[in-house]
Amino acid sequence: MNTVLLAVILIPIVEIYLFIKIGSQIGAINTIILIFVTAIIGVYYAKYEGLNTLRSGMVQIIRNQIPARELISGAAIAFAAILLIIPGFATDLIGFLLIMPITRKLIFGKFNKKFEQKNTKKNDFIEGEFEDIEDDNDRKI
């Protein structure tokens, strides 16, 4: 079965289950307030982390380096912000894990290593030999 189709079916089922379980423990109004509070806090924190990532990416560009980690982090933060806006506790948990720099570094560390290996193999010089040709010798290239 297609994983996207499976996710579209399973995510709402998990969210509804969590709504029922948490709602029965803390009440319906408190559950709704908690959903809104996590969305608001998450979006503001995503904005903060996104601006930090943008700043770090600009520093990498100024240093004439590829901002690979910043590109991956930016995409992860954008996806996390979407997850935080979607009402639900499971999506909020995944969103908060993607926004935190420590867990984001753990999750996407493998991608960063692949980009770093490509950058270290690149040489910025060309070896060659040269010979000075004087105009008096009538040697032409």
pLDDT interval class at 37 (50, 70, 90):
very high
Summarised one tens digit per residue, pLDDT across range 76-92 is: 888 998 998 888 899 99
Q: Count CB-CB contacts under 10 A for residue 135.
A: 7
Residue 124 included in any domain: no
What's the chain's average pLDDT?
83
Q: How many Å is the Cα radius of gyration of the chain?
A: 26
Task: State the average pLDDT over residues 115-119.
Answer: 59
Task: State the average pLDDT over residues 36-54.
Answer: 89
Query: Which pLDDT score, from 0 to 100, does residue 103 have?
Result: 87
Asked whether the predicted pLDDT for residue 125 surpasses 90, the reply is: no
Residue 5 included in any domain: no
Residue 132 included in any domain: no
Residue 64 included in any domain: yes
Asked whether the predicted pLDDT for residue 124 surpasses 70, the reply is: no
Q: Structurally, how many domains does the chain consist of?
A: 1
| Domain boundaries, position 75 | 13-116
Asked whether the predicted pLDDT for residue 138 surpasses 60, the reply is: no
d(CA 137, CA 14): 85
Residue 131 included in any domain: no
Residue 106 included in any domain: yes
Which of 96, 105, 102 minimizes the C-alpha distance to 38?
Answer: 96
Q: Give whole-number Cα distances, 102 to 73, 83, 98, 99, in Å.
A: 11, 18, 9, 9
Residue 134 included in any domain: no
**What one-letter code names the amino acid at 78?**
A
pLDDT interval class at 69 (50, 70, 90):
confident
**What one-letter code names the amino acid at 20?**
I
Residue 28 included in any domain: yes
Written as six digits, the tokens of 89 are: 């506790």
